[in-house]
């Protein structure tokens, strides 16, 4: 513990020397100010664009107050001709709106109609008594018809706004900003040590790599957790649930960022890979949260829980575990891999990315417990497989739905097959797994680890994954023995083929395995039936 604290202190001192004296306060103030401005801008709808349309209003109409509209007040005679000349998209003359039949003008009219509708409702509500102005009430109830009346709510259709979680998601996204900003220093901490070869000195001292990693991570994790508390206090949330929600997020993010400087060497690589990591993490966290309250799939992201917290809805342990388990698992895996690869030879060796990753996996597998390592590796890779699958789902939605399903299906099996076979293939490459028999044995254990891990993850999750036939295929849930046999067969095929054809043909072999796996999945969902 003492060594960990010493390393933490060293890291803090290093950071303090970067910002000396008064500049430290200035930097903190600027940081807080920019977070605030970013927050305000996005809260107010920065994502809706600004000055998209140009509208004119007659003097008796109030100007349009919406950032999307540039509003000018002009006399009707001028207004009409400006619309004709295309200088205005829409002109509002009293109770009439004039627009041309150009596309731009029509879109502006469509957007303005929604805006004016809200204004009109406010006017009607003010000018008339409530019961006359809003003459329809709808009581929304759920089947069965005798459900308790306290679950019902009464709405006025025109005042009913879609339950968009946008504002809430944006509020809770502010939690991510400090994490991403601090990560610059965290990554640099390792980059610096590598560049100056100080890591060599550190590693030759009697300090375990585990302590170095934990020690260097500790100050940043503490800082981000403090910022979580700070943001929660400012947003008037509950501190304890917020900490519970964001601790896995913080750990997960640092787990990803730990890998970046350990694998990369040049500055540009590091910058862009960490940029890429930031993008993927943000997608993974925000995309599901946007569907909170609509689909249970949203529980994959902890931000959903934060949204619910700010909506005043309590969340259960199961919902928490659904999102948090994967994040904790990735953290454990990443720290473990970090511990195994934190040695001078690995850090300073310059090789292509895929070689670096293969080396890292090879170093991760314990030579004394090869079988156990391969089993556990498959199990621990599952959260990453899920993440890749989710992100590919989000992206492929851009394609027409028929292709999207095919693409997601294919990508899913490719990722799964890689996750199950990569450990074994690395062993083949390094001549550790030599006989066909040992490869078959390893394939079985890998399939077993994958399946058991998958089932355990499902056990702690909300009933998300087993909802549709589609996800049945993707996540191969269902019975136990047949999927085990299937996983085993696919992995064995991939590994034996790789052994025979050579490791450099691994990508082609994966393609073959994926096709077989995809055909199996199609059978399971009954496409051929």
Partner 1 sequence: MKAHAFFTIFKRELRSVVKERTILIAILIQLFIASFSSALLMGLMSVYDPEATSLSSMVNIEVGIVGETSGPLSDFLRARHARVIPFATLADAERAFYAREIAAAIFVPEEEGPVADIQLFLPESETSSTLTLMILREPLKQYENYLREQNDIHVRYRDIEGLPATTYEFQYGVIIPLLMFFPAFVTGGMVVDSISEELANRTLETLWSAPLSLSTILGAKIGSALFLAGGQCLLWSMLLRLNGIPIQNLGLVLLLAVISAAIVAVGAASIAVYFQDRERSQFVYALFILLSVSSSYFFDFSPIALLTRLATGGDWTSAAGVAAYAALLLALLTAFLSTSKRLIAAGN
Using alpha carbons, list the distances in angstroms from residue 93 to 80, 86, 98.
9, 17, 8
99 vs 450, beta carbon nearer partner 1 = 99
Question: Rounded CA gap, 186 and 213, in Å?
Answer: 11
Nearest approach, Cβ of residue 230 and partner 1 (Å): 18
CA distance 465 to 454: 11
User: CB 283 → partner 1: shortest distance, Å?
Assistant: 5
> Considering the complex, what minimum distance in angstroms separates the CB of residue 89 from partner 1?
7
Distance CA(145)–CA(129), nearest Å, equals 32
Nearer to partner 1, 47 or 528 (CB): 47
Smallest distance, partner 1 to C-beta of residue 276, A: 5
Shortest CB 257 distance to partner 1, Å: 13
The nearer residue to partner 1, 183 or 443, going by C-beta atoms, is 183
Residues 6+ apart with CB under 8 A from 164: none
Instruction: DSSP letter for 175, please.
Output: T
From 335, 319, 318, select the one nearest 251 (Cα to Cα): 335
Q: Rounded to whole angstroms, how far apart are CA atoms 212 and 206?
A: 11
- By C-beta, is 298 or 421 nearer to partner 1? 298
Sheet holding 96-99, edge to edge: 69-73, 53-57, 90-93, 96-99
The H-or-E segment that residue 299 falls in is none
Q: How far is the CB of 426 from partner 1 (least distance, A)?
A: 23
Q: Closer CB to partner 1, residue 42 or residue 80? A: 42
Q: How far apart are CA 38 and CA 56, in angstroms?
A: 30
Using the minimum distance from each CB to partner 1, give the nearer residue, 15 or 474: 15
Smaller CB separation from partner 1, 89 or 416: 89
Which residue from 213, 303, 200, 289 is spatially nearest to 250, judged by alpha carbons? 303
Whose Cβ is closer to partner 1: residue 63's or residue 441's? 63
Taking the complex as a whole, the smallest distance from the CB of residue 44 to partner 1 amounts, in Å, to: 7
Cis preceding linkage at 51, omega within 30: no
Q: Is the dihedral of CA 389, 390, 395, 398 positive or negative?
A: positive
CB 209 to partner 1: min, Å: 22
Half-sphere exposure of 293 (CA within 13 A, CB side): 16
């Amino acid at each position: 513990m003492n060594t960990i604290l010493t390393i933490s202190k060293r890291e803090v001192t290093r950071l303090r020397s970067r910002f000396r004296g008064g500049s430290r306060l200035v930097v903190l103030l600027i940081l807080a100010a920019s977070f605030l401005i970013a927050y305000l801008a996005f809260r107010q709808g920065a994502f809706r664009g600004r000055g998209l349309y140009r509208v004119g209003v007659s003097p008796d109409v109030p100007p349009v107050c919406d950032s999307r509209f540039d509003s000018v007040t002009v006399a009707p005679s001028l207004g009409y001709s400006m619309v004709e000349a295309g200088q205005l998209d829409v002109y509002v003359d009293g109770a009439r709106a004039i627009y041309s039949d150009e596309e731009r003008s029509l879109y502006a009219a469509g957007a303005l109609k929604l805006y004016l509708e809200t204004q009109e409702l406010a006017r009607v509500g003010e000018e008339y008594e409530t019961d006359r102005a809003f003459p329809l009430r709808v009581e929304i109830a759920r089947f069965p018809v005798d459900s308790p009346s306290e679950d019902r709510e009464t709405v006025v259709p025109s005042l009913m706004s879609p339950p968009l979680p946008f504002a809430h998601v944006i509020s809770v996204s502010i939690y991510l900003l400090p994490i991403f900003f601090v990560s610059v220093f965290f990554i640099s901490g390792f980059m610096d040590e590598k560049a100056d070869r100080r890591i060599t000195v550190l590693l030759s001292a009697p300090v375990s790599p585990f302590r170095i990693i934990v020690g260097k991570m500790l100050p940043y994790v503490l800082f981000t957790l403090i910022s979580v508390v700070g943001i929660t206090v400012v947003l008037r949330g509950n501190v304890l649930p917020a900490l519970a929600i964001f601790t896995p997020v913080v750990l997960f993010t640092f787990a990803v960022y730990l890998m970046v400087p350990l694998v990369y060497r040049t500055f540009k690589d590091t910058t862009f890979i960490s940029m890429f990591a930031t993008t993927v993490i943000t997608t993974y966290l925000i995309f599901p949260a946007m569907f909170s309250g609509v689909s249970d799939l949203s529980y994959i992201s902890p931000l959903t829980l934060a949204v619910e917290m700010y909506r005043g809805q309590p969340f259960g342990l199961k919902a928490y575990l659904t999102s948090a388990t994967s994040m904790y698992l990735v953290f454990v895996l990443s720290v473990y891999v970090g511990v195994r690869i934190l040695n001078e030879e690995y850090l300073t060796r310059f090789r292509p990315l895929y070689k670096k990753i293969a080396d890292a996996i090879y170093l991760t597998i314990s030579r004394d417990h090869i079988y156990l390592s391969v089993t556990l590796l498959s199990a621990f890779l599952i959260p990453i497989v899920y993440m890749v699958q989710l992100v590919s789902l989000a992206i492929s939605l851009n394609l027409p739905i028929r292709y999207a399903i095919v693409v997601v299906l294919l990508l899913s099996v490719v990722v799964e097959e890689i996750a199950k076979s990569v450990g074994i293939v690395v062993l083949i490459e390094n001549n550790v797994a030599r006989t066909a028999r040992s490869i078959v044995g390893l394939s079985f254990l890998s399939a077993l680890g994958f399946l058991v891990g998958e089932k355990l993850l499902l056990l702690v999750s909300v009933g998300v994954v087993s909802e549709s036939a589609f996800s049945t295929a993707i996540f191969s849930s269902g019975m136990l023995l047949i999927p085990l046999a299937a996983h085993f067969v696919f992995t064995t095929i991939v590994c034996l083929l790789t052994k025979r054809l050579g490791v450099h043909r691994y990508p082609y072999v994966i393609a073959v395995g994926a096709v077989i796996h995809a055909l199996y999945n199609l059978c399971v969902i009954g496409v051929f039936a």
